[in-house]
Every structure is written in structure tokens, then in C-alpha cells.
Amino acid sequence: MIKLHRVTKYYENKIPAINDINLNISKGDFVFITGPSGAGKSTLIKLIFSSEKPNSGEIVVNGKNITRMLPKEIPYFRRSVGVVFQDFRLIQNRSVYDNVAFPLDIIGTRIKLVKKKVWQVLKWVGLLQKKDSLPLQLSGGEQQRVAIARAIINNPILLLADEPSGNLDPKLSFEIMKLFKAINARGTTVVIATHDKNTALNFSENIITLERGKLEG
């Protein structure tokens, strides 16, 4: 599903955020990427999502070498990948329904099908009753569930999450991780970046540890 071969990424300071990494993640895996702040977790997620390009090395996702993709190919690649961020990134002046429908709207999905899929996914994450609410009318845990619903509305083969519970209390964090586990049980490969190794240990034996851009252990 995901293969990284000798991938290095550095920014203007020339200090590698990701340093000569080799990594394999199989289809259907439930994987945590852990490590302290600045270890390279977010950079790794961005590389897999192709929002960043490596300075060297190759990345293959679902058989596609994304390091060789043309810019016009990237939006099509991203249709098969869902992403959840720590800060939710919801559209504040749009309803929960509209936020979740957004990925379907931009690819021209028929209105009837959009309604069916949005209702299904909102019911699944337990937020159908909140479909007309604005994001700021929701709790942090509810906003994160909206973000997850939006990320899975296209039935992605891969779901990436960057510190998805970083702004939540432990109880809500546990509930969000259970939701990711349920998504994985449906066949989606799930990769979660978190600094909280204890949470990772509670949910998976498949843990990748980063330290200063390099794999540990």
C-alpha cells in the first residue's frame, strides 16, 4: 500500500525533517507514527499525501509512484486518500452537512447521491442530528467527527490523520481512536501520527517511531 525508499525531506535550514527513510505499510494496516514534537511525523504524513515532495527518494502509494506525478494528477490521487488534521479545518460558515458534502460537490457528484452518502456517513459517526449546525456550535470532539466524516465520504483506500486527538481530552481522544479502528475494520488502511505513544499502544501493535527524522528501532 505505502512504500518509501530512501526518502529525505529538508526545508530551508537544510536540516532533514525526514532523513533517508525506508518504510513499508501493507494494505489494511492500522499504523501509528509516534515521536516527539519535531520528529518529522507531520512531514511524513504530508509526503504520503503529496502535499510535500521529497528532496530525494521515492514514494509509492497503492502502486502509484507519487514522486513522479504531474501537478495535474495530484487532485485525482487525493480522491482515494482521506486526511484528518488536528485543527479540523472545517469551513466555519458552512453547515456540518455542507462540510461533509464538500469533497463530493467539487467532483460533481449528483445531488441525490450526495444527500444519500452524507446522511449515511453522518449517521455512522453519530452526528446526523447536527447536520444543520455550524462548526462553532459543536464541541471539539464533534468537530473532529465531522472532519473524519468528510475524510471518508469518498470511501478512501487510505486514511491519514495528523495528531487527530491533540486538541481533545483523554476521553474524547479514546472515542476518536475507536472510530478510526472501526474505519480500519471496514478495510481502509489507517495511518495516524501522534506524540501520544500510550494511546498508540492501546490500539495497535504496529507502531513506527521517529526521532529527528529517522526511524527508531
Per-domain boundaries in the chain: 26-55+74-210
Q: Above 80 in pLDDT, residue 217?
A: no
Place of cell 490523520: 161
Predicted local confidence at residue 12, as pLDDT = 84
pLDDT band for position 216 (cuts 50, 70, 90): confident
Predicted TM-score (pTM) of the model is: 0.95
Cell of 98: 455542507
Predicted local confidence at residue 64, as pLDDT = 93
pLDDT band for position 183 (cuts 50, 70, 90): very high
Query: What's the burial of 96, exposed, middle or buried (CB within 10 Å: 0-12/13-18/19+)?
Result: buried
Q: Above 90 in pLDDT, residue 188?
A: yes
pLDDT in tens, 141-152: 999 999 999 999
Predicted local confidence at residue 15, as pLDDT = 86
CA 173 to chain CA centroid, nearest Å: 15
Least confident range from 99-103, 168-172, 186-190: namely 168-172
Predicted local confidence at residue 167, as pLDDT = 81
Q: Taking the alpha carbons of 142, 95, 93, 48 in that order, is the dihedral positive or negative?
A: positive
What's the average model confidence in pLDDT over 17-26?
96
Length of the chain: 217
Q: Taking the alpha carbons of 124, 91, 195, 33 in that order, is the dihedral positive or negative?
A: positive
Q: Above 70 in pLDDT, residue 130?
A: yes
Q: What percent of the chain has pLDDT over 70?
A: 100
Predicted local confidence at residue 43, as pLDDT = 96
Query: In terms of DSSP bridges, do strands 158-162 and 81-85 run parallel, antiparallel, or are they unpaired?
Result: parallel
pLDDT band for position 165 (cuts 50, 70, 90): confident
CATH class of the region 26-55+74-210: alpha beta
Place of cell 482521506: 82
Q: Give the burial string for 148-176 (b: 16+ CB within 10 Å, else e).
A: bbbbbbbebbbbbbbbbbeebeeebbeeb
Give the SS3 label for residue 14. Answer: coil
What's the average model confidence in pLDDT over 60-75?
94
Q: Above 90 in pLDDT, residue 207?
A: yes
Q: Above 90 in pLDDT, residue 139?
A: yes
Phi, psi of 208 (to 5 degrees): -105, 125
Quote the mean pLDDT of the chain: 94
